[in-house]
Structure 1
Amino acid sequence: MKVFPQVLTAKLQERNQAGALRQLGCGTTLVDFSSNDYLGFSASRQIFEGAHNYLLKNNITHNGATGSRLISGNHGLYTITERYLAAFHNVESALIFNSGYDANVGFFSSVPQKGDIVLYDEYIHASIRDGLRLSNAAAYKFAHNDIEKLTEAIKRFREKGMEGEIYVVTESVFSMDGDSPDLIVLTDMCQKYNCLLVVDEAHALGVFGIKGEGLVQSLQVQDKVFARIVTFGKGLGCHGAAVLGSCCLKEYLVNFARSFIYTTGLPPHSLATILTSYNYLEQSHSERNTLKDIISFFKQEVKRLELKSFINSTSAIHCAIVPGNENARNISSVLQQNCFGVKAILSPTVPLGQERLRFCLHSYTTKEHITQVLELLAATLPSS
């Protein structure tokens, strides 16, 4: 067998020397401050049994979709679930993808065309960047949540007389900061300059809104958004994603989004779990209300302990900046040795000098654990 390529070995060694070599972990009994299971749905027996009973009641016994949705895999649960999602999210149509990554790659590689411009927030998710790399449109980043800089860029392109579309891309809750753009100002600006706004709602679904429908709907600006991407592996506790938009957008994606066309569909059990999780989200408010209280308490404790390294956030994600991979890793190790599952987010996942500790809050997080982990953090952080 040929030896492993030297150039690849060198890249691994370089990553290791930078203290940024990624490795797979295993199951843990640490207090959960790292998962995206904000409402605890992934461990809900009620949802598990509800999905199972739904399949039994409707005599659905297939283990797989048997093929892509355009060949043999478009089983009846797809139609039922997509109609439910469209009604829940107050939009014309929904198209389910196998994952959030697939949805973003499929959308951004196929929708923006040659001659179009994509302006994206510099902190946008890697899956969107990967989709844009496959696109024929020109893509440019703008400073994080800086609508003034974004407006200036749009004006420059408009003044050049470009005839293509301008797409503006952001997240309603950013995965590495937990903060949000001013969506009301942003949607008004996009309408004023005739731009198409695309919002990734991965970390807002289940957390914001009267029924957990996300930040866009909670602000009632959904009619000003060209497309939303919602993912089910976080607040919904299961798997998959959907692009929400017009019927024309759905038809286009079915015909041109390669990550949709050329992959086997989700099995019926996945669709039943998505549908059951949404039903539970719509009918029950207890987990969401508890999470809101936990978020408020966390922010109070950060203020009490004068932990000024935290980025301001009203979401379930709270990050303390700890520059340097080694520093962030060492403090994370101290917290984990004391049974708190806090992960260090290292460069190159985040920019150099912006390494951080990421605290994910949940409806099952206790106030006692919050106080304990933040007091330990305050005692461990180097004094300024």
Structure 2
Amino acid sequence: MASNSLSAFLQDNLTELKQQGLYNTIQPLESPNGPIITIQGREFVNLSSNNYLGLANDERLKEAAIQATTDFGTGSGAVRSINGTLALHIELEEKLAQFKGTEAVLTYQSGFNCNMAAISAVMGAGDAILSDELNHASIIDGCRLTKAKVIRFNHSDMEDLRSKAKEARESGLYSKIMVITDGVFSMDGDIAKLPEIVEIAESYDLITYVDDAHGSGVLGGGAGTVKHFGLSDRVDFQIGTLSKAVGVVGGYVAGSRDLVDWLKVRSRPFLFSTALPPGSIAACITAIDILQNSKELQMKLWENTRYLQEGLKNLGYSVGRTETPITPCIIGDEATTQKFSTRLYEEGVYAKAIVFPTVPKGTGRVRNMPTAIHTQEMLDRALSAYETIGRELGLI
């Protein structure tokens, strides 16, 4: 019999979430996660995927995964530090290091795992972490695993960062101080002010840490936000994902050879979790080859991004401060935002509402994610729905 206290806790809190409109119902896909998806036998224009370049559905990646599974099996069979490291893992890490312009790379099971692993392996008691207030949840959780003092600075506010860096350094309380930022912020699509962050870091001897999940494959010729700004040799930690633009699963830390050697002996997800499977690793290798040898997919992604964002603005919507394919359509009121997303679903467009507490109250938005494999006709269908619903709700 289940614990009475657990049952009461779960029932009370699930009921509260449902009453507040914060309970998330998961809708399984009956198709690949492409530009058109099928849910309960019905097709939708998909604007909720992180599959920026369409590589999750690319035949070349599928073939690589199948061949590697045939050659190496379905799983790696062990953690990396025992005998779960395959030649494929080394090939991918060397290729990623070349792509990112760093000495070395270490792969992990997810981007989330990277932040759990890397921050806590380096920072501890007697240290301080300066963290942008809008950093991803995985960064926040990674910081919590340390015993370091976490100091939040206002989002992309360089004067606030400089002031807090100066205060932390001059206090004499901390052995090491790290500054952490997303490269691209996932709710608004704005890009971190990396040149200014690096300049402040160099002034106060801060360790620099950039989580580039949404910049990887999108900016800097695909190599990410750090490469976009030409700062590959001035950032200590570059965190990347293999599950968004790369189209597979996993994450990686790029940096110096000494950093990677340290993570191999001190980062717990590397030491205590089975290595990524051969099929996934081979698919990632193929994806990086594609990114290195062709810019066609990135060009198409940006073409579709401009088309969708201009279309929304021409209808009278605000897309906020985005500088990337992440396209928030700002609605405002939480209830109206939820209703808007529901109406989009009814009109055959899959784009999810993002409301408080994920974003500040009164800034509810529908987040749209155009990809390289959307056609103009698909985007026109979405824009037509936005026009219909906007007029219906008196928003445009």
Tell me how far apart the structure 2 counterparts of residues 376 and 305 of structure 1 sit (CA, whole Å).
10
Aligned with 1:244: secondary structure?
A: strand
- Report if the CA contact (8 A) 2:100-2:223 is conserved: yes
Deviation for aligned residue 1:185: 1.7
What does 1:116-135 align with in structure 2 at a 5 Å threshold? 116-135=127-146
Higher mean Cα deviation, 315-324 or 144-153?
315-324
Aligned with 2:179: secondary structure?
A: strand
Q: TM-score, normalised by structure 2?
A: 0.91
Q: In the alignment, which residue of structure 2 is the partner of 1:24?
A: 26
What does 1:339-378 align with in structure 2 at a 5 Å threshold? 339-368=348-377, 369-370=379-380, 371-376=383-388, 378=390
Tell me how far apart the structure 1 counterparts of residues 192 and 276 of structure 2 sit (CA, whole Å).
32
What does 1:140-179 align with in structure 2 at a 5 Å threshold? 140-179=151-190
Q: Counterpart of 2:17 in structure 1: which amino acid?
A: R
What does 1:178-189 align with in structure 2 at a 5 Å threshold? 178-189=189-200
- Report if the CA contact (8 A) 2:128-2:174 is conserved: no
- Report if the CA contact (8 A) 1:331-1:380 is conserved: no
Tell me how far apart the structure 1 counterparts of residues 269 and 321 of structure 2 sit (CA, whole Å).
35
Q: In the alignment, which residue of structure 2 is the partner of 1:6?
A: 8
Tell me how far apart the structure 2 counterparts of residues 297 and 24 of structure 1 sit (CA, whole Å).
29
Deviation for aligned residue 1:381: 4.8
Q: Counterpart of 2:384 in structure 1: which amino acid?
A: Q
Q: In the alignment, which residue of structure 1 is the partner of 2:259?
A: 249
- Report if the CA contact (8 A) 2:130-2:177 is conserved: yes
Aligned with 1:181: secondary structure?
A: coil
Q: In the alignment, which residue of structure 2 is the partner of 1:379?
A: 391
Q: In the alignment, which residue of structure 2 is the partner of 1:214?
A: 224
- Report if the CA contact (8 A) 1:51-1:276 is conserved: no
Q: In the alignment, which residue of structure 1 is the partner of 2:92?
A: 81
Aligned with 1:361: secondary structure?
A: coil
- Report if the CA contact (8 A) 2:68-2:279 is conserved: no
In the alignment of these two chains, the number of paired residues is 379
Tell me how far apart the structure 2 counterparts of residues 43 and 117 of structure 1 sit (CA, whole Å).
42
Deviation for aligned residue 1:44: 0.7
Q: In the alignment, which residue of structure 1 is the partner of 2:292?
A: 282
Deviation for aligned residue 1:133: 1.0
1:287-345 Cα shifts (integer Å, max 9, x gaps): 1111111122223223322213x212121101123334322211001111111111111
Q: TM-score, normalised by structure 1?
A: 0.94
Q: Percent identity over the alignment? A: 32
Tell me how far apart the structure 2 counterparts of residues 348 and 275 of structure 1 sit (CA, whole Å).
37
1:164-196 Cα shifts (integer Å, max 9, x gaps): 211111111111111112211221221122111
- Report if the CA contact (8 A) 1:19-1:325 is conserved: no
Tell me how far apart the structure 2 counterparts of residues 269 and 50 of structure 1 sit (CA, whole Å).
7
What does 1:255-270 align with in structure 2 at a 5 Å threshold? 255-270=265-280
Deviation for aligned residue 1:53: 4.1
Which of residues 44, 51, 58 in structure 2 aligns to 1:44? 58
Task: Indicate whether 1:299 and 2:313 are aligned.
Answer: no
Q: In the alignment, which residue of structure 2 is the partner of 1:233?
A: 243
Aligned with 2:338: secondary structure?
A: helix
Higher mean Cα deviation, 86-95 or 5-14?
5-14
Deviation for aligned residue 1:96: 0.3
Gap regions ≥5 residues in structure 1: none
Q: In the alignment, which residue of structure 1 is the partner of 2:209?
A: 198
Aligned with 1:225: secondary structure?
A: coil
Gap regions ≥5 residues in structure 2: 30-38
- Report if the CA contact (8 A) 2:81-2:270 is conserved: no
1:117-150 Cα shifts (integer Å, max 9, x gaps): 1111111111111111111111121111111111
Deviation for aligned residue 1:200: 0.7
